[in-house]
Amino acid sequence: MGRHGKQLAHLDELWEAGVRMFTDDGDVVADAGLMRQAMDYLATRGGVIAQHAVDPGLAAAGQIHEGAVSSLLGMSAIPAEAEEIIIARDLRLAELTGARYHVQHLSTAGGVEMIAAAKTRGLEVTAEVTPHHLAFDDSMVATTDPAYKVMPPLRSIEHMDALRAGLRDGTIDAVATDHAPHAAHDKDVPFEHAANGITGLEWAAAVVNTVAPLDPVSFYTRMAVAPAAIAGTPEHGRWVAVGNPAHLAVFDPAHEWVPERTVSRSSNTPYLGMALQGRVVATVYRGTITARDGSPAAVALTS
Ligand SMILES: [Zn+2]
């Protein structure tokens, strides 16, 4: 309730209203007892509880990943264990309660290992990774460009490689952008004072196709089919077939380009100027084109 992590929200009312995925994202559910209550509730119904897995004590006022770069910069840091300890605890609770559990923006090699082991044991566990955790390691943070400040932080190259491998072998089910637009006055400030977050929705498919290429079936599964299945939105993430709703993203995997503009009102993104392979040519909702060549359809159609 209120994302304070003290009291359970009215999950029954949310469930009645159609909500199937529950999270305090932005904050961790740090209290194991509260997490168990939420899991107990959902275990009997079938919804999924998702976690922003960052232990508050270990993360404290940390700004970046704890490692060589944080030593070099002398900046307060967040160890990988801040994520891994929460995931380890939650997996035990998922086993105890039988609830479906989802890890948001997975960022550590240890997390990938634990998810793989939990799946082998038969737990109903899923995980997502962001395009930026696949694309960048914490060497980018050494520039102290606030565009690279995110939570969880960009980690070392070993973690990034483990995330790419996890996405490839299916340990990581889905890509989710953790899209976080910010006003310039919150982001164009010294690194220590900048807000966490990246806008990435416009280029997510292109970034993943560039830095962690997959075979077509795996690509569309991780980008669309699995996210919809995890979130419980049966209208979405369907393969193209007669009778299925035409909610589509038309993707050209061979298109090479460099994004130079955004249609977002926020510009806190590291992707402008980055060479990408693959491009969403159009998006379609209920059979109507909603965006084409990177612009909302109304603009694109009059040009
Ligand atoms: Zn989060």
- pLDDT for position 295: 86
**Residue span of the structural domain in which 32 resides:** 11-240
Mean of pLDDT values over 44-55? 96
Residue 224 resides in a domain: yes
Residue 151 resides in a domain: yes
Residue 73 resides in a domain: yes
| Number of domains present in the structure of the chain | 1
Q: Token pair for residue 82? A: 């801040």
The residues whose Cβ lies within 5 A of ligand 1, an ion, are 25, 52
Please give the mean pLDDT across all residues of the chain. Answer: 95
- What is the per-residue pLDDT across 109-167, written as a single tens digit (0 to 9) for each? 999 999 999 999 999 999 999 999 999 999 999 999 999 999 999 999 999 999 999 99
| Res. 297: pLDDT tops 90 | no
Read out DSSP for 184-227?
HHHHSS-GGGSPP-B--GGGHHHHHHHHS---HHHHHIIIIIHH
> What residues are labeled active site?
178
Half-sphere exposure (Cβ direction) of 31: Cα atoms closer than 13 Å: 12
Residue 293 resides in a domain: no
| 296 band by pLDDT with thresholds 50, 70 and 90 | confident
Residue 297 resides in a domain: no
150 CA to middle of ligand 1, Å? Answer: 9
Q: Token pair for residue 156? A: 């070392």
Residue 102 resides in a domain: yes
52 CA to middle of ligand 1, Å? Answer: 5
Identify which of 9, 10, 59 has the alpha carbon closest to the alpha carbon of residue 30.
Answer: 59
| Res. 27: pLDDT tops 90 | yes
- pLDDT for position 302: 44
Give the integer Cα–Cα distance in Å for 113 and 106: 11
Alpha helices in the chain (DSSP H): 11-16, 32-43, 56-59, 68-73, 81-97, 109-120, 131-135, 157-169, 184-187, 204-211, 216-220, 226-231, 297-302
Q: Is-contact 130 139, C-beta < 8 A?
A: no
Angle at 99 between CA 109 and CA 17, to 5 degrees: 115
Mean of pLDDT values over 62-91? 97
| Res. 25: pLDDT tops 80 | yes
- What is the per-residue pLDDT across 66-80, written as a single tens digit (0 to 9) for each? 999 999 999 999 999
- What is the per-residue pLDDT across 92-105, written as a single tens digit (0 to 9) for each? 999 999 999 999 99
Give the integer Cα–Cα distance in Å for 216 and 219: 5
pTM over 0.85: yes
Residue 300 resides in a domain: no
123 CA to middle of ligand 1, Å? Answer: 22
- pLDDT for position 148: 95
Residue 261 resides in a domain: no
CATH number at residue 189: 3.20.20.140
- pLDDT for position 111: 98
- What is the per-residue pLDDT across 165-209, written as a single tens digit (0 to 9) for each? 999 999 999 999 999 999 999 999 999 999 999 999 999 999 999
Contacts of 266 (CB under 8 A, 6+ apart): 181, 182, 183, 184, 187, 199
Pairing of strands 288-292, 276-285: antiparallel
151 CA to middle of ligand 1, Å? Answer: 7
| Res. 300: pLDDT tops 90 | no
208 CA to middle of ligand 1, Å? Answer: 19
| Res. 272: pLDDT tops 90 | yes
24 CA to middle of ligand 1, Å? Answer: 8
